[in-house]
Structure 1
């Protein structure tokens, strides 16, 4: 058949079948054109065998019904303590007669009893004004005992002041040490006649050699002290008026950085943690005092770790009588 005649015949067929194709479903119309023009239809894709079918998703139901996942609850805020947490207040006897050093390595401070009062022998460490690279020392009062005035316990711990000294100082007792700050306009005391400038602010305590063996004890006690600080701040925030909440929150946020700044100079502090512990304990007691608690009656105590028994050797129990150290109760 000539090509021209074939094309005319196809056009005639299309014209006749057009109304029917327009009304037919799309799939039927597609099959007609494929047969008309000799186009082979593509085979539908065969899904691969052996693949597991996706599990049917159950319709959503009310939470708590069988087969339905429970809705996770939002985390509840930590409960606010009902009363202030009071730690055991430090004893003055733990520092009286002890040779203490600034940051455990320089100068000297020794508290002594004098009748009903107290005195202190203090030698301040510093650097020379003319040669800042060289060290110097200044004994307050010419090396004689300085009379201290007792200021009671305004922040839960014994406080003494040496207001009449060449470098006026405030001494807050902590367990085994003294937290010292200046009463003047700044932390530095300058002694021009002695060519010496000093910064006595910090913790005056024992040398690190006596503290390192107690690092485990200090770490346990610090956990209790840090929790007491958090709980007391939380209670203060709850009791405060709305306009007084922000200063309390700001003070709490600065607590860790203040402690780090105060203790970073103590010798081997990262090994034993003595300064961090005493700073936290005194802050917890100060907060309890501000909350109106009686700091003479502690409400929190540190649980001492129980030592583990030694293993038996050759059938003998070394922890038995005469065989070794007994377990402390």
Structure 2
């Protein structure tokens, strides 16, 4: 769908201007494109960003295109900021219907290894968890069901967790819970503090330093998606909340060093999941290219990223 706005082929258009969507990290990259595509579908979309000035610049650009977008500042790592957003949504709209947890970081510049790991985890895992739980009471009853989409990564596949014990525990959906995820994080942080690698068992120290925090945070995010989906699965008809995660693939943004496919393609699966009619919705799944790929192993994650070609003179 490169270069176009996503459309669902089903004739069941369940949303309207009264449908409220919140997108975190919406001031640039994939988040900005998700906001653009949802607003283009006629959904009232709230763009959030940690930096207010950048968020307002993004809002201005979208409004110039005639899109119905609003802005609210949000730092997903700050409980007061999360609370302010929740209070504002309740006062302005009475609730919401869609949450796209897109805000994320790939690395930290902090020199302390433990603090650096915590910074990545605070955004990619705890930010998703804490915001979703804060907004959960505000999801409005709907015959179509509400939608939570967590923008994750192939890096969080369980094949990247080399310790078989943790791999098994994180893949044991029946017994998986927040305590298991917290234990996984605790041991990973202990590794970081002691300079060991008992959890991920990366092939080299260089790979651990480069990708370890991101892998651990996305593995935790994926596990949280499964826990939430399972815990919400028994809600009665009219109050369903579908919770899924997806990978945008290597997308041409700053996080991927401007390599990969377009932001339109990167945003496509998230928007597709949002717009699906209730009859086609599933919950607790991991999607890549509109396909349920499971949580264990994704072959593309092990394929080397092609280096950009040097243009010929």
Structure number with higher relative contact order (C-alpha < 8 Å, ≥ 6 residues apart): 2
Structure holding more strand per residue: 1
TM-score w.r.t. structure 1 length?
Answer: 0.26
Calculate the TM-score normalised by the size of structure 2.
Answer: 0.27
Higher helix share: 2
